[in-house]
Structure 1
């Protein structure tokens, strides 16, 4: 096919010429060791993908060679087993930085898949040190099993799976290793939401291309950041100059004049989005990262930082013949081309009566109460420089390899206060749990850094689009963001990290050890305010020695 445009120049790329494609659905494989229809095999392999009808084919890495990977459909409390088979080449086609953790003395291509948002035993969590190479020839220090077991013991939710290999996550996800995992339950069945052809998962990612259509990823820091004495080198964040949805650059979707359900995910490395409709119509939010809201929530726009999800209903009734653009109003990285995402064209005839509904009540309200919390942890987000003079962002003033300082006890409730002293916001992802944002308080950053005094202003409640259960929490600049969570069901080795993938790969990631036995805690008294009004301000509790992590089992 003749290349009719320059893929590296967004001024030259026609928009809204490729139709949005719904991701394929994974099919179970028969295996005598697992119950019928519960076992899946997905191959991680190199393939060629067409991002735009006027582009040449592009080399990608994908689950089953697809972008996005096949959607896994699962049911609550019915276990799913997945074997992610690494069939990738031994050499990466994107620039590998050998100075990062494990990269200098490990095979160049390593993979491990994390089911993001899952309540799961740590051996199946996709720990970054559980990596493995093709044929499991080499494995990381925390590798335990070839088949991941997902018990699905949690409410219906929009989960997703993606590569999580130590020091390679930014490259492997950018190359294409991401897909949806939709967990359903009986509550969802009863809600009468749009379904089938009218339920569409949307993975939004920014990407840049070279003139020949290949993926562009920088081999080092770009201006205004100074050059560094390492090549290739990690950057502080890569921003693509085009927007893709389900692997298509600026696509369109033909819709009927009826209600549709869209499960939207920001799977970009660094870019955030503020999504709204060009006709100023409200979006009806029904869910966040961890599942359904208690009530449907009309909103004008929704912000999604990397790894955040939102579950929306858009009603195209009475809009026959109209074209509506999904806009991106993000102000951190504004741009003429990246300000638009895709088009909805209300051009299809209605195939029958729209009998779906928008329930006012969705899920029972099951909040966590601050006076039940056992521990508050003050966790600063800070900046420093590594040995090569590169900017490095840190959690709790520690690097990844430092011993775990966050050791929650099984069945404990904790409040984590993210104290963001850096000049940018961070999407903080905590493995294993779903939590809720209590709120944010502005603080005097200079006074905190220079004197160690945390002087805060009044509490600001969560934004209207982030009131539900979440596993990614925006830590705003100059704010203390407080999150409450319940550690339950599993013990073992987990992690928390910034989900800007370049930050995660460059030490903005820390271990978590969930332990069985109770340890000294700060008990919050019942007479403290139960409406999220108490200020943060307790240091980390003493760290106990965890149980042996090598022999942990669960039933």
Structure 2
């Protein structure tokens, strides 16, 4: 996304009618969703400048069958079906990485664990002069936890082949409450320094100055680098 260039998204809920963690749904179910609806959802963009109608609050959820929570809303109602909603994002942000995820009542943690989360990068053309790695040399990834599982996920390849050059890692901690301590571990037969250092050039607040060289990084829940 480009800074100050708005984005309009039509969300359509076509999720399976039975949740991956159905046993959790059975424990937390409450009105306004009746007993025969197991999957309700709404998307929240985390950290951006967003108008209230597009905030993705839990009470704005909707189901695959078109059942709406009490505060469901959409832009341009004449252009949506019952299982859809149109949201707009201003992208009036610094150059940084945000994220979005399922935010329905009582389900945020298990929905993120089930994979309903993604990265949202806002770019400022003024940053082009910095010469930061882009394209295949910019690697986004997320760390998350959930019921009986802990995962680190890359949308491309969890074990990518790399070149002897600089890469930019964009890391999200999508865990509900777990902190992650991250570092590079290199076999000694490959490199005498088993934990090579790296530069921290930005956080969820954008690019940072001065730069900081680290050999490990602790990322808090919902934190980004």
Residues 248 and 75 of structure 1: CA distance in aligned 2, closer, same or farther (over 3 Å): closer
Deviations 1:136-160 (A, max 9, x none): x211122111111001111111111
Tell me by how many angstroms 1:245 deviates: 2.1
Q: Match for residue 155 of structure 1?
A: 94
Gaps of 5+ in 2: 75-84, 186-193
Tell me by how many angstroms 1:268 deviates: 2.5
DSSP 3-state at the match of 1:309: coil
Whole-Å Cα distance in 2 between the matches of residues 143 and 297 of structure 1? 44
Which of the residues 140, 160, 170 maps onto 1:201? 140
Deviations 1:25-73 (A, max 9, x none): xxxxxxxxxxxxxxxxxxxxxxxxxxxxxxxxxxxxxxxxxxxxxxxxx
Residues 306 and 256 of structure 1: CA distance in aligned 2, closer, same or farther (over 3 Å): same
DSSP 3-state at the match of 2:48: coil
Q: Match for residue 296 of structure 1?
A: 211
Tell me by how many angstroms 1:97 deviates: 4.1
Q: Match for residue 181 of structure 1?
A: 120
The answer as to 2:169 corresponding to 1:262 is yes
Verify the 8 A CA contact 2:32 2:69 in the aligned structure 1. Answer: no
Which of the residues 59, 63, 66 maps onto 1:133? 63
Which of the residues 168, 174, 181 maps onto 1:274? 181
DSSP 3-state at the match of 2:73: coil
Whole-Å Cα distance in 2 between the matches of residues 248 and 258 of structure 1? 19
Tell me by how many angstroms 1:182 deviates: 0.7
DSSP 3-state at the match of 1:171: helix
Tell me by how many angstroms 1:98 deviates: 4.6
Choose between structure 1 and 2: higher helix proportion: 2
Q: Match for residue 73 of structure 2?
A: 144
Q: Match for residue 93 of structure 1?
A: 20
Q: Match for residue 246 of structure 1?
A: 154
Verify the 8 A CA contact 1:117 1:290 in the aligned structure 2. Answer: no
Whole-Å Cα distance in 2 between the matches of residues 247 and 201 of structure 1? 7
Whole-Å Cα distance in 2 between the matches of residues 275 and 105 of structure 1? 41
Residues 275 and 127 of structure 1: CA distance in aligned 2, closer, same or farther (over 3 Å): same
Verify the 8 A CA contact 1:129 1:143 in the aligned structure 2. Answer: yes
Verify the 8 A CA contact 1:98 1:104 in the aligned structure 2. Answer: no
Verify the 8 A CA contact 2:25 2:38 in the aligned structure 1. Answer: no
DSSP 3-state at the match of 1:277: coil
Q: Match for residue 366 of structure 1?
A: none
Higher relative contact order (CA 8 A, sep 6+): 2
Q: Match for residue 46 of structure 2?
A: 116
Aligned pairs, number = 203
Verify the 8 A CA contact 2:96 2:205 in the aligned structure 1. Answer: yes
Q: Match for residue 189 of structure 2?
A: none
- The Cα RMSD (Å) is 2.1
Whole-Å Cα distance in 1 between the matches of residues 155 and 165 of structure 2? 25
Whole-Å Cα distance in 2 between the matches of residues 255 and 248 of structure 1? 13
Tell me by how many angstroms 1:191 deviates: 1.3
Tell me by how many angstroms 1:110 deviates: 0.5
Verify the 8 A CA contact 2:59 2:104 in the aligned structure 1. Answer: yes
Gaps of 5+ in 1: 1-73, 208-216, 218-238, 311-555
Verify the 8 A CA contact 2:141 2:170 in the aligned structure 1. Answer: yes
Tell me by how many angstroms 1:128 deviates: 1.1
Q: How does 1:531-546 map to 2 (within 5 A)?
A: none
Whole-Å Cα distance in 2 between the matches of residues 269 and 183 of structure 1? 24
Calculate the TM-score normalised by the size of structure 2: 0.82
Whole-Å Cα distance in 2 between the matches of residues 248 and 79 of structure 1? 27
Tell me by how many angstroms 1:81 deviates: 0.6
Residues 243 and 91 of structure 1: CA distance in aligned 2, closer, same or farther (over 3 Å): closer
Tell me by how many angstroms 1:294 deviates: 2.7
The answer as to 2:32 corresponding to 1:76 is no
Calculate the TM-score normalised by the size of structure 1: 0.35
Verify the 8 A CA contact 2:141 2:152 in the aligned structure 1. Answer: no
